[in-house]
Amino acid sequence: MAEGTIFERLDPIFHPRSVALIGASGKPGKIGRLFVDAFMESGFRELYPVNPGERDILGFQAYPSVLLIPYPVDMAVIITPAATTPAVVKECVAKGVRTIVINTAGFGESGIKGKEAQDEMVRVAREGGARIIGPNCIGIYCPASKLPFLLKQGREAGSVGLVSQSGFFADYLTMIATERGIHFSKAVSCGNESDLTAVDFLEYLGEDPETETIVAYIEGLREGRRFYDAARKISRKKPIILLRGGLTEGGARAAASHTGALAGSRPVWEGVLRHTGIVPASSFEEVLDCLYAFHLQPLPSGARVGIVSGPGGIAVATTDACLELGLGVPQFSPATAEKLRASMPVVGGSVANPIDLSLASLLGPRVFRDAVRILSGEKNIDMILVIAVVGGERLRDLILGAVDGLTTKKPIAVVVMAGTPEAVERDCRTLIASGISAYPDALRAVKALHRLSGYARFRERLQASPDDAAGVRRRRRALPAQGRHIILKAASEGKKVLSEHGAGEVLRLCGIPVAREREAFDEPGFRRALGEIGFPAVIKAGGPELSHKTEKGLVYLDIRDEHEALVAFTEIMDKRKGRETSVLVQEMIRGSRELIIGLVRDRLFGPCVMIGAGGIFSETLKDNTFRAAPIDRQDALDMIDELKCRASLGPFRGMPAADLGRVADILVKVAAMGAEQREIKEIDINPVMISGDRPIAVDALIVLEDE
Amino acid sequence: MAEGTIFERLDPIFHPRSVALIGASGKPGKIGRLFVDAFMESGFRELYPVNPGERDILGFQAYPSVLLIPYPVDMAVIITPAATTPAVVKECVAKGVRTIVINTAGFGESGIKGKEAQDEMVRVAREGGARIIGPNCIGIYCPASKLPFLLKQGREAGSVGLVSQSGFFADYLTMIATERGIHFSKAVSCGNESDLTAVDFLEYLGEDPETETIVAYIEGLREGRRFYDAARKISRKKPIILLRGGLTEGGARAAASHTGALAGSRPVWEGVLRHTGIVPASSFEEVLDCLYAFHLQPLPSGARVGIVSGPGGIAVATTDACLELGLGVPQFSPATAEKLRASMPVVGGSVANPIDLSLASLLGPRVFRDAVRILSGEKNIDMILVIAVVGGERLRDLILGAVDGLTTKKPIAVVVMAGTPEAVERDCRTLIASGISAYPDALRAVKALHRLSGYARFRERLQASPDDAAGVRRRRRALPAQGRHIILKAASEGKKVLSEHGAGEVLRLCGIPVAREREAFDEPGFRRALGEIGFPAVIKAGGPELSHKTEKGLVYLDIRDEHEALVAFTEIMDKRKGRETSVLVQEMIRGSRELIIGLVRDRLFGPCVMIGAGGIFSETLKDNTFRAAPIDRQDALDMIDELKCRASLGPFRGMPAADLGRVADILVKVAAMGAEQREIKEIDINPVMISGDRPIAVDALIVLEDE
């Protein structure tokens, strides 16, 4: 791979002076013709069609082979059948082509044979110093270089960047967006990612000064952690609006046959989205809806919406939608209310938030403009949502008139509810092209504003706490030598699981508060342990790799005296007769609030730390949240705040507030252990009991990696 | 009120032979002019404009007063200012008008004075045998009678009925739908509901033979229980697609200023929706999306989707969307897979579900038709989702060609992703007008199919278990005389809460299993109680109206011997010194799984029964579900199935499956108590412990209604 930053290495790909179109055709109905049409439409000059069966293709001289082109070729776009493509790639490399875009399908996504052929093409290309985009992709759209997609996006360059593992998504989305006046810096369809991947291009777009907003479609990732780190870094300066596919088992099945890549599981992805600041969209339309808001509007300084509505009923339903997504719809300050009252005749309407302009807005639409101007200066709100019942030129003039010359910039979203669906579409396009985000439905506008304010909060939080994953990684080790020794020894003995006592010991060595515990192997030892721990106590079977103790009747809670203790000891010894065993004596921790803290190794993102509500229903109620490890203290506090049970961790039913700083500390340490100790596959501290206000690990499991 | 069924009483309202338009005007820019235009456009003949200042209005003779019209007047539409409206209503009544539509705003929604004027108009109307629609509404659209709304919906009659508390919603939705070829039987905007309400019209549309599908916008209900019963009855034969406003506090605030009605709280509403089969939509656009599916497609026999997609990436994301909503995307049967393979060239595509047609679909769109025809006969799927990348006439011909002459009818939804937004809108309209539900975005299509299959399941379940609320009500009382006596006595003594002992007694009398318990007032009594209950035991303070016992240190769990018991007794007596007190001795119930069963009186729907996951985090994790009481056994089982913790109620961590029949029995009994005993305001059984497999009420609270 070449030297330099990712930007320096990939930027030349977007600026080829000449392109060989291999498999080009002049015949209507052929794919090769679609590409020639697209390059002609975009005005690309140095185009060399290659087709042994045609000599002149729509005015371009055609060559029988790329090797016979008498000029240098920077980029080749291959649209020949799969059987001949590997040979064509060899010729391209021989010709000295540096970028090879393979449109042809039938490689890695189609089975083992296809994968082998694909690997061979990559080998050949790498040897020759060439890079491959695809196969199974439509390549690059770069208006500044006149590189086209197929759907005639037009020649105007803008500042949205796009990277997609689906060719259609890339092609269709850029077409729709440009139709509405939103233009692109670069868009890449990367198909099977045999060589260059979506993450490569994401990093590139992150560095690209021509790109301000990024749109991505991702079905699967081979380098999840690199994606995670790149996204978190990029989101600090540019939003990434992401549509993901293949998150569910069925979706992943479909994705596997499409690009043959991995897809992560949903709860981990949700943590990833929160931690990286990625803006998630759940459909093609939502991607566009977000794009209008993110690309055209400033970031809001909060999450409070002022609603200006023609129809009262829609205003009511829209207020509901705002509140359910966590956006505020607060009352206006007295001064603003006064101005609104003075400016508008409201019979049957209301100047409270939401402002119901009633029929007045149909008869004198100027009230829309006045209301927006007044709200622009209102300090109790951060965003403005207009539900307009007038359309056409009048609407555009009103909205542009309202925002013209304003010094305080709040994001504005306009919902057009006037005229036929065609008229609404036309008006939305006009507004978007004029720099106003516009929607045909209020809920879609609300969702876009919700995403916008969520991203603004992410940016704010990063500014307040600039610590990042790399910073966390540089710190000293969480696990001291003695703890590492316990883990490495167990691993070297081929153990899959640390004994409960061993796991507790490891946590304790990290500075995590663990219930006091002694391990005994015979009755005298047991009596000594009782003396040290005291009553009430918990008596459990110890022994290596012993799980489901409660279900096996090997846990005795709340033992209050020596008599009860000895009964428990005898019963455990009896039940475990003939097996290597020990008996644990643990202090009895009282507390009603239980949490679970754990660590998993995600196949995409590596070690991920988790916190969740504990208790008997924890598996089914699933109140938990994840982050890729390591994390910093603020991340840990954020995770705690994301729990639904958060409110019960404050002062609650006569109990004091849980010391969340100490909970966060456990989370940070567990994450650090997972990040630094590869031998740890899973950690499960269940429960972390809140005793008084203090979190204490009561039971712990550490699972080791298989060799 | 007149005699006859609701249909017989309200139907004449939709068929006036003559209409007086009071406040009509010929002057452009006046609201009165908009109405005249609308009546002219709809072709209504016997129109009598009333305006003392105009003599001829666009060719109609105008009258100075409704009293001076020399012909009978069936309906009056009043658009005069609020100040003069009451006098106009009097004149209408004097004229013998039977239906008075008041468009004018500024009455009940604007404050006490407006409300008084409104009440007076209703009184005058009722005395004269007239009915009022409104004020603050746009009245009735009935194409068969040429009654218009304002937005020129056209004259074609169809079979969708609409009722709305928002005039704009009614006007705009009917306009958009008719633009797309979906037509209406009757649509009513009922405004402030001073007399006739949305529930009246809902019941009417339920009976109306011309109406097959119902759309409703509701902000608040005064007769929640009547709405509930009507909706449940109507949903057995016709779907009701509902957009609600004012569900949240802020939305309700907005709603209050709009129509001055009540709005129910969200969790109760969710239970209402499930129990009544109402199809909920969360935005204007979603109402329309559902309407296309419900009005044009047959009901599916299951929830499994076959996806035929041009683009592979979108197919993957769409599969995710299906699975997340609980729709299946199963594999096809071998015969179908074989047919698909034979029919289509799939390089880079897949004939598994979702079918990825890849580029083949762009070059030879016939593959869409073939795939749809093949899937129509596939037994593993119930619905077909097509994501088309070709548009225009070609698309319509392909889809109509595919469904033409099919004997097995599965619902089809088509997603159009071809061409510009305008082209997509045009194609969707063409398809919808041809009877195919069509969408510009796959997620919207998936959501509509999800609602469709949910409604189909509701219909199926009602057929399997025809029991209804009325049937439940006829059964014998849940609470025997002795239980009623306890409640009535406490109520007559002015108590707000039954003592814990009393509440347990009431439940026991209903046949609900309750932990054994004795109440003691002195030490000898306490010793007797211990003897009867045995160890381990729970010792608590008794006393009337004593709450938060645990927080006050008045509960001693797991007492194992007499010594511990006497310590507890002494401590309780000490803490409660000087107050009326008792000590309860209860058997200690062991069990890990806790539920909460309760009853509330909802301000909209009356007594509502609830079941939820228990435990310390129950308040924040909110895994619970509601129904209006009474309920039948199947309802109770449905409720249990809706809990997220349901999976933990089966065999779980070594515990046996909970006996859900017995849990359902408790729910049915609690619901019945609430429905039949008005003195009960709330019931709270927390926890219902699952001990072994049996549910046992361990702690109960019964709150009584204030006088």
Q: What is the pLDDT of residue B693?
A: 96
Looking at chain B, the domain(s) classified CATH 3.40.50.261 span 137-296, 299-464
Task: Say if CB A391 and CB A418 are below 8 A apart.
Answer: yes
**Residues of chain B where predicted confidence (pLDDT) is lower than 70:** 1-2, 249-264, 345-349, 359-360, 363, 465-475, 544-546, 707
Chain A environment of B166 (Cβ under 8 Å): 311-314, 316
| Tokens of residue A14, six digits | 């977007």
Write the residue in A166, A248, A615 that is nearest to B617 by C-beta: A615
Judge whether residue A668 has pLDDT over 60. Answer: yes
- Best of A617, A646, A649 to substitute, by most chain B Cβ atoms within 10 angstroms, is A617
Write the residue in B106, B314, B359 that is nearest to A348 by C-beta: B106
Q: What is the pLDDT of residue B616?
A: 87
| Of A387, A325, A326, nearest in space to A353 by CA | A387
What DSSP designation does B98 have?
A: S
Q: What is the pLDDT of residue A267?
A: 87
**A137-296 CATH, one of 1.10.1200.30, 3.30.565.10, 1.20.1440.230, 3.40.50.261:** 3.40.50.261
A644:B620 CB<8 A: yes
Looking at chain A, the domain(s) classified CATH 3.30.1490.20 span 516-588
Residue A51's pLDDT band, with cuts at 50, 70 and 90, is very high
Neighbouring CB atoms inside 10 A of B266's CB total 14
Q: Which residues of B657-694 are buried (b: 16+ CB within 10 A; e: fewer)?
A: ebebebbbbbbbbbbbbbbbbeebbbbbbbbbbbbeee
Chain A environment of B329 (Cβ under 8 Å): 250, 254
Q: What is the pLDDT of residue B548?
A: 76
Chain A, chain B: beta-carbon pairs less than 8 Å apart: 306
Chain B environment of A82 (Cβ under 8 Å): 347
Q: What is the pLDDT of residue A264?
A: 60
| Burial group, residue B343, by CB count within 10 angstroms (0-12, 13-18, 19+) | middle
- Best of A316, A363, A689 to substitute, by most chain B Cβ atoms within 10 angstroms, is A316
3-state secondary structure of A204: helix
B313:A169 CB<8 A: yes
3-state secondary structure of B652: strand
- Residue-wise pLDDT for A242-268, tens only, equals 999 887 766 666 665 554 455 567 889
Select the more confidently predicted residue: A585 or B264. A585
Q: What is the pLDDT of residue A509?
A: 96
Chain A environment of B254 (Cβ under 8 Å): 312, 315-316, 319, 329, 350, 352, 354, 356
Task: Say if CB B136 and CB B168 are below 8 A apart.
Answer: no
Looking at chain B, the domain(s) classified CATH 3.40.50.720 span 1-136
A166:B313 CB<8 A: yes
pTM of the model: 0.94
Q: What average pLDDT score do residues A94-110 get?
A: 94
Q: Which CATH superfamily is domain B593-704 in?
A: ATP-grasp fold, B domain (3.30.470.20)
Identify the CATH number of the domain defined by range B1-136.
3.40.50.720
Across A208-272, where does the E strand assignment appear?
213-218, 240-244
- Residue-wise pLDDT for A375-405, tens only, equals 999 999 999 999 998 888 888 888 888 888 8
- Residue-wise pLDDT for B603-634, tens only, equals 889 999 999 999 888 888 899 999 999 999 99
3-state secondary structure of B110: helix
Q: What average pLDDT score do residues A505-518 get?
A: 96
Domain A516-588 class? alpha beta
Write the residue in A320, A354, A358 that is nearest to B248 by C-beta: A320
Helices assigned H by DSSP within B277-311: 284-296
Judge whether residue A102 has pLDDT over 60. Answer: yes
Chain B environment of A320 (Cβ under 8 Å): 244-248, 250-251
Chain B environment of A166 (Cβ under 8 Å): 311-314, 316
State yes or no: ipTM above 0.90.
yes
Phi and psi at B165, nearest 5°, equal -85, -5
User: Which residue does chain A place closest to B617, by CA atoms?
Assistant: A645
Identify the CATH number of the domain defined by range A1-135.
3.40.50.720
Chain A environment of B620 (Cβ under 8 Å): 644-648
**Would you identify the CATH topology of the domain A298-464?**
Rossmann fold (3.40.50)
A350:B176 CB<8 A: no
Q: What is the pLDDT of residue A473?
A: 55
User: Which residue does chain B place closest to A289, by CA atoms?
Assistant: B441
What DSSP designation does A298 have?
A: P
Q: What percent of chain A has pLDDT over 70?
A: 94
Neighbour order of strands in the sheet with B184-189: B139-141, B184-189, B157-164, B213-218, B240-244, B279-281
Domain A468-513+590-707 class? alpha beta
Task: Say if CB B431 and CB B394 are below 8 A apart.
Answer: no
Phi and psi at B232, nearest 5°, equal -65, -35
Architecture of domain B299-464: 3-Layer(aba) Sandwich (3.40)
Task: Say if CB A600 and CB A271 are below 8 A apart.
Answer: no
